[in-house]
Structure 1
Amino acid sequence: MGKLKNNSSFLKWFKLVVLILGGGTIYKLSSLKDAFYVPMQEFMHLSHTQIGMAMSVYGMVQTFGNIGSIYIADRFSKKKLIPISLIGVGATGFYLATFPNYSGVLVCWALFSLFGEVLYWPVLLKSVRLLGNEDEQGRMFGFLEAGRGVIDTIVAFSALAIFAVFGKGAGALRSSIIFYSVVPIVIGVISYFMLEDDVIKTTDEKGNKVSRNKVALQGVIKAIKTPEIWVVSLTIFSIYSVYCGLTYFIPFLKDIYAMPVTLVGAYGIINQYGLKMVGGPVGGFLVDKKVKSATKYLRGALLVAAIAMTGFMFLPHESMNIYAGMSLTLGFGAIIFTMRAVFFAPIEEIKVPREISGAAMSIACVLGYSPSMFAYALYGSMLDKTPGLQGYKHVFMTMIGFALLGFVIASILLRIIKNKNKQLKDKTAMNA
């Protein structure tokens, strides 16, 4: 019996590793700005606003496409969707390596979003949720985020090394993009052979045999009619709006602190990927072992983030040491990444039925990630309209506003969870 349990545990973590490999490679191209923001401006001739608009197109496809993935995630198996998504992103990357015109760049980011966000991400989240029981959600999602951070960092530093070896020019950027394209294609092939087909339910609640399409549609309707899912989604919306602002720490340190170009790429990788390795396990541990509630943790962390950013905004940045600026911005980023690691975990707290996990995760993605439609363009336009420190202060104030909004929404969610648990307890007592 113990051997069977050990085998089951091994398979669970092995599947998580395979999922982490995909999750850590599929977004390298769509997040090209994280390590190559300045080279993109120089060699692809893109302004702050244009890079922001590419991310906004990505967000639009993500938001409206996730409406379709509410149905897709529970209708098709991960064994098909995950490899198709990874290979599709890689193929699009080869086109981006030709340095297309601005319209072509927008098409690339639209396709990155279709494959990475619409077809891939909700299926990944569903798969991770179903791997763990109620007491493991924080750790499962925490390890997903941490593992992605490890893979992210290895792949991103490898691309940065390729960029340096090839002379840090246009050809070097092209070589890095090609590298980013090959990796997900390889992982996509591996995933096809390592992941099993999903068992898709083909009976309704009365036990009658129904088609997969009907089962999926019934799940969609049930998920849409669950108000708690929408409140969780709004909490994610607020956190993700703050997260989008982390990108602008890169030009902030370059413009205000005169960060050397050699540090820009390395900082961008640590800021966006390295922090996942810290935030993932820390967030998962705090939720499962200390706070015992993802929602409670998110509420507290949002308040801490708002206070921290308020203090940061009033520091004398123009006279501070570059390493102090780097440390403070990375510290703030770590707070956000502990929340990013677990902000889907409240789906378990609101007792969403497991057979509609895909639909629930897709709804959370639709609303939760919708800031990518406007936040990057909003922050980018603030910097283009008001150059210098004042423009960055406008960005920071907006991030504070979103953090406070999230605090209020998480407080409402906690009240909903408390009332729901009380109702379940009363119902159980009546049936006893």
Structure 2
Amino acid sequence: MTSHDKAKWLRFLILILGGGTIYKLANLKDAFYIPMQEFMGLSHTEIGVLLSANAIIATALFVVGGVLADRYDTRKLIPLGLIGTGSLGLYLATFPPFSNLLIVFCLLAVCADCIFWPSLLKAIRTLGDDKEQGRLFGLLEGGRGVIDTLVAFSALGVFVAMGSGENGLKSAILFYSVIDILAGTLTWLLLKGGNTQSTVKPKNGMSNLLEAIKVPGIWLVSLNVFMVYIVYCGLTYFIPYLKEMYGLPVALVGAYGIINQYFLKILGGPAGGFIADKHFKSSSRYLKWAFLALLPLMGVIMLIPKNPGFIYAGMAATLSFALIVFSMRGVFWAPMGEVGIPQHITGSAFGIGCLIGYAPGMFAYVIYGAILDHFPGQQGYNYVFSLMSVLAIVGFMVSSLLYQAVRKNSTVTGKVSAAQA
């Protein structure tokens, strides 16, 4: 391995560190959904409102974040987002009233989704050429899963050590906050001197944005991310589903949530990247068939008898479903290279992609949560899971269109290369 390669992978690992820590506070529900209800007094719908408020601000600012990533040094923006997030967590640990919680979750979106995330995506893309994008983004998702799992299980350990009550939840939130601040400090120190910027310096952020808007492939990639993400949002409700339908012990609810939301990234992200690159030779083609694979698994989930004797079958089926979704998340940005996005507008392209792709966070949690509150018990979960299945079918159709666009771009690019030869 050359010194250049060593430097590249060191920067990659540093970026993973930030990517695996920054969303813990905004996604507190992943490991502490039930404690949030019990000790913060939040209903399904209220948790959904907090998540939606976070997503609304995030979606509104993704394009701004993309322009910032093209115009300013990502080595400064990435630590700024991490330290800002940790600082907000210190206040979140005081359990402020719901109106203040809304403000906190909105500000978390500013730090994580506007300042940090588009800069991270740009930094990852500039680490390799278009042939490496599936692997790089897949390894990003997998690496984040490692950090996610370690940090989340540590927070769960803090929660249990502090009595598994109100003080335990506050201590876990403080733990997340300190980790974010430390990660921000480390990235600030260790990314200095690295080249995470594009070699082409943008002259004007708005001109880059306007150029990106005119690239047709961006819109298909963005819509494809939208469909993966709206199905992904439904994974959260496997947690209360197993508790209510199968009697999953409270002590295991947090552990299952961590495995469901974090550990599976370790397997799914890299697996999706390598399968897409090596077997399917195209991330968009892999996504197309992965959407179809979700349908029989959801059928199994809904047909398994609802009694404690089948709890392990229920866990296995839901985790299998989630694994495929995480393999899709690992590569859903890779088609940015397949559709021919120029390097110098990468930040703006990802800003547009995030604006559309992550939009389900604005409403999906509220819809899913409201369905469960309005239709308690198995009926509500049947409605939610049926809706996720319909969305997977729509996702298959969108991915098919994206793959056609990728093939068309490859044909045009090949002809141009042949003409220039």
5+ residue gaps, structure 2: none
Displacement of 1:425 after TM fit? 2.4
Give the distance between the partners of 1:425 and 1:138, measured in 2 at CA: 20
Question: What are the residue-to-residue correspondences of 1:96-245 with 2, within 5 Å?
Answer: 96-195=92-191, 196=194, 199=197, 214-245=203-234
Give the distance between the partners of 1:59 and 1:392, measured in 2 at CA: 23
CA contact (8 A) 1:77 1:197 kept: no
1:17 aligns with 2:7: no
Query: Which of 392, 405, 417 in structure 2 is aligned with 1:416?
Result: 405
Task: Supply the AA of the counterpart residue of 2:126.
Answer: L
1:303 aligns with 2:299: no
User: Percent of aligned positions with the same letter in both sequences?
Assistant: 48
Task: Supply the AA of the counterpart residue of 1:313.
Answer: M
Give the distance between the partners of 2:141 and 2:200, measured in 1 at CA: 32
Give the distance between the partners of 2:327 and 2:189, measured in 1 at CA: 32
Task: Supply the AA of the counterpart residue of 1:138.
Answer: G
CA contact (8 A) 2:20 2:147 kept: yes
Give the distance between the partners of 1:421 and 1:150, measured in 2 at CA: 34
Displacement of 1:420 after TM fit? 1.8
Give the distance between the partners of 2:96 and 2:40, measured in 1 at CA: 8
Residue 198 to residue 134, structure 1, CA distance change in 2 (3 Å): closer
Question: What are the residue-to-residue correspondences of 1:193-342 with 2, within 5 Å?
Answer: 193-195=189-191, 196=194, 199=197, 214-318=203-307, 320-342=309-331
Task: Supply the AA of the counterpart residue of 1:104.
Answer: N
Task: Supply the AA of the counterpart residue of 1:408.
Answer: M
Q: Residues 89-116 of structure 1, C-alpha deviation per residue, up to 9 Å, x if partnerless?
A: 0000001001000011111111111111
Give the distance between the partners of 2:325 and 2:290, measured in 1 at CA: 8
What does residue 381 of structure 1 align with? 370
CA contact (8 A) 1:93 1:180 kept: yes
Give the distance between the partners of 1:30 and 1:325, measured in 2 at CA: 27
What does residue 69 of structure 2 align with? 73
Q: Residues 258-289 of structure 1, C-alpha deviation per residue, up to 9 Å, x if partnerless?
A: 11001000000000001001101111110121
Give the distance between the partners of 1:402 and 1:77, measured in 2 at CA: 38
Displacement of 1:291 after TM fit? 1.0
- For the aligned residue pairs, the C-alpha RMSD in angstroms reads 1.4
Displacement of 1:216 after TM fit? 2.0
Q: Residues 230-262 of structure 1, C-alpha deviation per residue, up to 9 Å, x if partnerless?
A: 100000000000000000000000000011001
What does residue 361 of structure 1 align with? 350
CA contact (8 A) 2:304 2:314 kept: no
Give the distance between the partners of 1:411 and 1:332, measured in 2 at CA: 21
Q: Residues 336-372 of structure 1, C-alpha deviation per residue, up to 9 Å, x if partnerless?
A: 0000011000001011111111111111111000000
Deviates more, 1:319-328 or 1:32-41: 319-328
CA contact (8 A) 2:301 2:314 kept: no
5+ residue gaps, structure 1: 204-211
Residue 137 to residue 197, structure 1, CA distance change in 2 (3 Å): closer
Residue 419 to residue 111, structure 1, CA distance change in 2 (3 Å): same
CA contact (8 A) 1:202 1:215 kept: no
CA contact (8 A) 1:238 1:403 kept: yes
Q: Residues 176-197 of structure 1, C-alpha deviation per residue, up to 9 Å, x if partnerless?
A: 1000000010110111111146
1:90 aligns with 2:86: yes
Displacement of 1:199 after TM fit? 4.8
Residue 415 to residue 96, structure 1, CA distance change in 2 (3 Å): same
What does residue 206 of structure 1 align with? none
CA contact (8 A) 1:201 1:215 kept: no
Displacement of 1:401 after TM fit? 1.4
What does residue 209 of structure 1 align with? none
Give the distance between the partners of 1:141 and 1:43, measured in 2 at CA: 37
Displacement of 1:428 after TM fit? 3.2
Q: Once superposed, which parts of structure 1, at least 4 consecutive aligned residues long, lie more than 6 Å away? A: 200-203
Count of residue correspondences: 419
Deviates more, 1:73-82 or 1:214-223: 214-223
Displacement of 1:215 after TM fit? 2.7
TM-score by length of 1: 0.94
